Amino acid sequence: MIKVWKINSFTERMGGGGPPLKEYFLVAIADQTAALAALRKRRPDLEASDFTIVGEAGPNDVEWLDVSDDQILCVTAVA
* Residue closest to 25 by CA, chosen among 60, 65, 48, 14: 65
Domain span at residue 68 reads 5-75
- Express each pLDDT in 18-68 by its tens digit: 788 889 999 999 999 999 999 999 999 888 899 999 999 887 888 888 888
Contacts of residues 42-47 at CB distance under 8 Å and 24 or more positions apart, as own/partner, are 42/72, 43/72, 46/9, 46/11
Number of domains in the chain: 1
Question: Model pTM?
Answer: 0.82
What pLDDT, on a 0 to 100 scale, did the predictor assign at position 79? Answer: 39
Query: b/e map of 26-42 (b: 16 or more CB within 10 Å)?
Result: bbbbeeeeebbebbeee
